[in-house]
Amino acid sequence: MRADAERTRLAARSDARYVRHLFDQFSADYDARMLGHLAYRAPRILREFAGLLGLGGTNRLAVLDLGCGTGLMGEAVKDWARRLDGVDLSPQMIEKARARGVYNELHVGDVCEWLEQTGRKYDLILAADTVVYFGDLAPLFPAICARLAEGGSFLFTTESKAGEGFELGPKRRWRHSENYLRAQAARARLDVSGLMVCTPRTEAGEPVPGFAVALTKRHASAS
């Protein structure tokens, strides 16, 4: 276990096998644990944030839920979607999401690998409590940009750190600085259309500092 933790600390992202096993284990009581004990608010935060940015209020959006888990994010925005798809590493979590009956398609797979496949483009991509399992965002942001329609938006939550760069926290979740998020967005040709401080969840009764971030894909004419 100590060796696994050290490999995670040195890696650019959390090990996919670890994440899959973790969430397969948690799937049975995930909603109760997250909404109750951990006061999980990321889906509600992203829905409200999208509304503030004028992205919601329509049922004509093609929406992708990255790291969809049991479907809490999809449930929160189903009324905006003409199409709603989800991707998650955990087969057990996908089964919970499927039972909600709100998704058009659900896929078991690694988020980056799935995004890099040729496929449909989305008006809105959401990642509630998913980016925390990625340290280096250099591979993720361009893959997301490739799956966004022109003018489409990517909204996500992450845990925050001061200063520069990113770091692995004590709960094996990655924290990102505002400067790092802005720099990686610019490299992926995504504009920061919104960034706000938020508390996506608690740990041991204490608020976890985080960001809600909105990135927008530039129109080709503006590149």
Q: Which tens digit of pLDDT belongs to each residue from 150-168?
A: 999 999 999 999 999 999 9
CB 20 within 8 A of CB 27: no
Full-prediction pTM beyond 0.85?
yes
Q: What are the tokens at 110? A: 């690694």
Looking at residue 208, the DSSP 8-state letter turns out to be P
User: Which value, to the nearest 10 degrees, does the dihedral of the CA atoms of residues 53, 133, 35, 45 take?
Assistant: -10
Q: Is the pLDDT of residue 7 over 60?
A: no
Instruction: Kindly report the backbone phi and psi dihedral angles of residue 38, in degrees, each rounded to the nearest multiple of 5, phi listed first.
Output: -100, 5
CB 170 within 8 A of CB 117: no
Looking at residue 166, the DSSP 8-state letter turns out to be E
Neighbours of 195 (CB within 10 A): 16
The pLDDT tens digits for 157-206 are: 999 999 999 999 988 899 999 999 999 999 999 999 999 999 999 988 89
Rounded CA gap, 217 and 207, in Å?
A: 31
User: Model confidence at 12, in pLDDT bands (50, 70, 90)?
Assistant: confident
CB 71 within 8 A of CB 86: yes
CB 160 within 8 A of CB 195: no
Rounded CA gap, 178 and 46, in Å?
A: 17
**Quick one: what percent of the chain has pLDDT higher than 90?**
73
The pLDDT tens digits for 74-113 are: 999 999 999 999 999 999 999 999 999 999 999 999 999 9
Which range is least confidently modeled, 7-16, 119-128, 214-223?
Answer: 7-16
pLDDT for residue 5: 43
Tallying the residues shown for the chain, one arrives at: 223
CA neighbours within 13 Å on the CB side: how many for 189? 16
User: Model confidence at 38, in pLDDT bands (50, 70, 90)?
Assistant: confident
Domains along the chain with CATH numbers? 2-222 (3.40.50.150)
Strands 105-108 and 81-88: parallel
